Amino acid sequence: MRPEEYFAEVEMAWCPGCGNFAIRRALALALSALALPPERVVLVTGIGQAAKIVHYLRVNGFNGLHGRTIAAAAGIKMANPSLTVIAESGDGDLYGEGGNHLLHNIRRNLDLTVIAHDNRVYGLTKGQASPTAPQGYTTRAQPFGVLSRPLNPLALAIALGAGFVAQTFSGEVEKTAEILARAIRYKGFALMNVLHPCPSWNRVQTFAWYKERLQPVEALGHDPADRLAALSLVLSPGEDRLPVGVLVEAPPEPTWEERHPVLRQGPLVGRPLPRPEELRPLLAEFL
């Protein structure tokens, strides 16, 4: 399928110039490159401007609750591991409200791809700071500036042992698409943090601001098999250098669904309902 065939023909609620358009295009390019039939893909999103992407692409969709994106995606994957399941939402949803699900699903290592739209603000609720907003960033809700340090999702995922961790910039659509395809193809938990400007609310981290700071990790000779080197890359640069590219791509370990004895016999979906005679040993426990 051509990338455009993954686009749903609907009116979109994103602001002009939003990085979300580019991420949508990158995902369509990746799905097309992987030749994934739309009916074999489930896109799971939460709530926020980024999360609306589920309505703008022609695949199966589960648009759940704010923050619960990865939890719902995990349930879908556990029930039917034969589907390609992608969890996608904003930084507030995935790193704020849903932080606990991120932690524990990195541990689970289901074959899931998580795409975070990281623009450091809450767009839909009009500009409050997100967990990745820098210290001192002022908004109407943070009049003294953000007092907390920003969350470092890359360091977190790398430290917890996520198999695939990457960061890209929405302004680089082709590169984002190429790495997204690698993330989706990767057998195990993959986190894609996509930096993107918010032209409506974030007047500090603009398109130009990002462009000046991007630092492709390939150019640094980074080896994605070297987890410690990746950790040092994402911990060291601060705000003036933003590493982009594949930070970690570890040799795949058995996924949760591959290790589960029930799922080794195939998906849960499509199994017949139990017949009364099959329940005899169960009921015999009470005799």
**Residue (7 or 62) nearer to other proteins, CB:** 62
Between CA 37 and CA 43, with CA 40 as vertex, the angle to 5 degrees is: 105
Mask of contacts with other proteins, 67-86, x by CB under 8 A? xx--xxxxxxxxxx-xx---
Of the residues 26, 36, 47, 146, which one makes contact with other proteins according to CB under 8 A: 47
Using the rule CB under 8 A, give the single segment among 60-68, 151-159, 193-201, 217-225 that binds other proteins. 60-68
Of the residues 25, 58, 120, 196, which one makes contact with other proteins according to CB under 8 A: 58
Q: What's the length of the chain? A: 287
Of the residues 14, 62, 207, 209, which one makes contact with other proteins according to CB under 8 A: 62
Which residues have a Cβ under 8 Å from the Cβ of 172 and sit 6 or more positions away? 214, 244
Rounded to the nearest whole angstrom, what is the least distance from the CB of residue 101 to other proteins in the complex? 6
Kindly report the number of other CB atoms within 10 A of residue 206's CB atom: 13
CA torsion sign for 56, 40, 186, 254 is positive
Cα distances from 79 to residues 112, 229, 247, in angstroms, run 13, 36, 30
Residue ranges in 233-262 that form contacts with other proteins under rule CB under 8 A: 260-262
Cα distances from 3 to residues 26, 89, 118, 171, 176, in angstroms, run 9, 21, 23, 18, 14
First to last CA, the chain: 58
Number of residues that bind other proteins (CB under 8 A): 56
Rounded to the nearest whole angstrom, what is the least distance from the CB of residue 38 to other proteins in the complex? 6
Which residues have a Cβ under 8 Å from the Cβ of 189 and sit 6 or more positions away? 105, 106, 108, 109, 110, 111, 112, 114, 162, 163, 164
Of the residues 29, 53, 86, 263, which one makes contact with other proteins according to CB under 8 A: 263
- Taking alpha carbons only, the member of 94, 95, 107, 72 closest to residue 151 is 95
- Taking alpha carbons only, the member of 83, 87, 92, 82 closest to residue 54 is 87
Rounded to the nearest whole angstrom, what is the least distance from the CB of residue 147 to other proteins in the complex? 26
Rounded to the nearest whole angstrom, what is the least distance from the CB of residue 174 to other proteins in the complex? 27
40 counts as binding other proteins under rule CB under 8 A: yes
Mask of contacts with other proteins, 84-123, x by CB under 8 A? ----------------xx-xx-------------------
Of the residues 60, 152, 215, 232, which one makes contact with other proteins according to CB under 8 A: 60
Kindly report the number of other CB atoms within 10 A of residue 34's CB atom: 14
- Residues in contact with other proteins by CB under 8 A are 10, 37-40, 42, 44, 47, 52, 54-55, 58-65, 67-68, 71-80, 82-83, 100-101, 103-104, 260-263, 265, 268-271, 273-274, 276, 279, 281-283, 285-287
